[in-house]
Structures are given as C-alpha cells and as structure tokens.
Structure 1
Amino acid sequence: MNNKTDELTYDLVNSKATIAMGSLLAKIIKDDLKQGLIVYLHGDLGAGKTTLTRGFVQGMGHKGNVKSPTYTLVEPYELGLWNIYHFDLYRLADPEELEYMGIRDYFGKNNCSFIEWPDKGEGFLPEADLIINIEYKNAERTIRFDAKTALSQLLLEKLTQYN
C-alpha cells in the first residue's frame, strides 16, 4: 500500500477523546464507506480498547450500555442495517473454541467486528482490515492505526479529513 495513508497516530488526552475517536470512526463507516470491517485492538489491560469500541457502537446509534465482553467473549449490537460485534478474547482458553461458537458467522459486508486480544484467536480469525494499537503515554493515550486493506486505507484517508 504505497503512496496512500496506511498508518496514522493520534494522542488522546482522556477517555472522552477516546470515545470521540470511536464515534468518528463510526461516522466514516456509516456516511462514507458504507461497509463493515474487521478491527484488531491491541493494548494493555485498561488502555482504552473497550472505551474506543464504546464510542464506535454509540456512534453507530446504540443508546444503551456498552460493556466489555470479558466473560461472554462477544457482545452483539444489532442496529438496523449494521451488526457490530465486540469480542474480548483475553480469557479464551483455546482458539478452537471460536469454531464452536460459529466465528465465521460474525463477519460480513454490514458487520463491524472489534476484536480485543486477537492473538488468542490466531488461526481461527479472518485477517484484519485495520489494526489499532492503544498505549499509555504519561497520563494520555496514543492510538495508532495500521491499514491492512484498501478499505481501511480509505478509512484513514477520511479520518485525516476530519481531524
């Protein structure tokens, strides 16, 4: 992916900024791309992976609570034309468990899947469109987006237009 935006980094001053970033990603998906994607989320415990996903889910129109799927493995959100799946694989004992839960059914054109701890599902997950790394930087967080497909590259190009 040459000559295009395939990596972006932003500093997020607090959780409100993290939620706003997730909401902005949702706006771009809904208004510009009109297609779902697969996002791998990397970062230490408490780095803001669920907070970013919360902003995305709310930005897509969900009005209720958005909680971490630490114990359920996946929290689904059906929002009209869109299905959003928030996975947290931290407690996954064996990646083969994903096969038993019908993991392939969660990925499609109008599905957005956010997957925390994707390395725990290696070999059973489809490739990511977008990889997001969130890390602490003093009291703030740094978020880095790595585009892995043409779709996510377009997402990052749109993101630079809004920011």
Structure 2
Amino acid sequence: MTHDTLTLTLPDEEATTRLAERFAPLLTGQAPGMGPGGRIHLHGDLGAGKTHFVRALLRACGVAGRIKSPSYALLESYKVSSLYFYHLDFYRFSDSREWVDAGFRDILQDNAVVLIEWPEKAGNLLPPPDLDLHLDYCGDGRLATLDAHSAKGTLWITTLAPSQQK
C-alpha cells in the first residue's frame, strides 16, 4: 500500500481555496496523465475548513449554483459534464454501519469524485481513499496534511508538491 505525505501551511481561508482549486484538474482528468475521479476523506475539528475546501473544489470543478453542506441530508450530488461528484458528511452518524444501511456503498466508484467528511464515523467499513486530507488549526490558519493511500493519491501529492515549495 502506498503512503506518501505532504504537509502544507494554509495561513488563511484563501490559501485553502487555492489548494482546492489546484486539486480540480487532478480530479476532473484535465491534468496531464490523470484520469477523472477519486476519493478524498476529510478530517478535522468542527470549523477547521473541510466544507470550505469541498465547496471551493466543487466550484473549481465547474459546479454552478448553490453548494449545500450535506450535514443533515448526508449526501449532496452534482454532475458536471459526464463526471459525478458526491459530497458526504458522516458527522451525525452514531453507528458505523449507518453509511452502508443508507446505500452509499454504490457511489464509491473509481470514475466519480467522492468527498467524505468525518469518515472515521464509518469505522473501518469504508475502503481506503486515494487521499486523506487532515485540516488542523495552526494559529489563525490551518495545517493541511495530505496522506496518499493509492497510486492516484501519490500522483496528486507529487503534482501538488513542487509548486508549494516556492
């Protein structure tokens, strides 16, 4: 199993937005050598920026209109061209099997973009993502730690890393 890590300092909300915008071509297949789709699990305390990152990413991928948080609905889905985007939030789950009982296993396709907030609420029932994104408070900003768990996740980190080291 692949496990590469990249840690970035995000001094403000705009830096989180820029990181999300840099992910967009990687997930939509517009970056050279990248196919569309992928799974990202988002971790962090309440207010750490998980939903902000997802909204900025969806906007950068071409989602128009209102982008709602799936906190109560559990799932919000979008389609841009022929690519499906699924934004899930497991925060309100009290049992790790709730996501399976809700029928979400069917959307975990390699050719879709699947973004899951609070994946730890599903216990070990979720398959590993391509990438874990941890957002932790760091002063007024955030510390973003990206952990790859697949060849695709490693390629994303490799692609993102050089321009972060300016």
| TM-score over 0.5 for the pair | yes
C-alpha contact (below 8 Å) 1:103/1:125 kept by paired residues: no
Aligned to 1:86: 87
Match of 2:140 in 1: 139
Structure 2 gaps, min length 5? none
Aligned to 1:107: 108
SS of alignment partner, residue 91 of structure 2: coil
- Identity over the aligned pairs, expressed in percent? 35
Q: How many residues align?
A: 161
Gaps of 5+ in 1: none
Q: Using the alignment, how far apart are the partners of 2:128 and 2:98 within structure 1?
A: 18
- Deviation sequence 1:37-79 (CA, Å, 0-9, x none): 1111110000000011111111110121222211111111111
Match in the other structure for 1:120: 121
SS at match of 1:131: strand
- For residue 86 of structure 1, report the CA deviation from its aligned partner: 1.0
2:145 alignment partner, SS class: strand
The answer to whether structure 1 residue 39 and structure 2 residue 37 are counterparts is no
Write the letter of the residue equivalent to 1:88: D
**Secondary structure in 1 aligned to 2:7?**
strand
1:76 aligned counterpart, secondary structure: strand
> How far apart are 1:147 and its partner, in Å?
0.6
Question: In structure 1, what is the Cα distance between the partners aligned to 2:26 and 2:125?
Answer: 28
User: How far is 1:35 from its partner?
Assistant: 2.7
Question: Counterpart of 1:22?
Answer: 20
Structure 2 equivalent of residue 76 of structure 1? 77
* Alpha-carbon distance in 1 for matches of 2:67, 2:144: 20
CA 1:21/1:90 → structure 2, altered by over 3 Å: closer, same or farther?
A: same
Question: What corresponds to 1:9 in structure 2?
Answer: 7
SS of the residue corresponding to residue 95 of structure 2 reads coil
Q: CA deviation at 1:137?
A: 0.5
Shift of 1:156: 0.7
Q: Secondary structure at the match of 2:115?
A: strand
| Cα RMSD for the two superposed structures | 1.7
**Following the alignment from structure 1 to structure 2, what is the Cα–Cα distance between the partners of residues 81 and 161?**
30
- TM-score, normalised relative to structure 2: 0.89
Corresponding residue SS for 1:145: strand
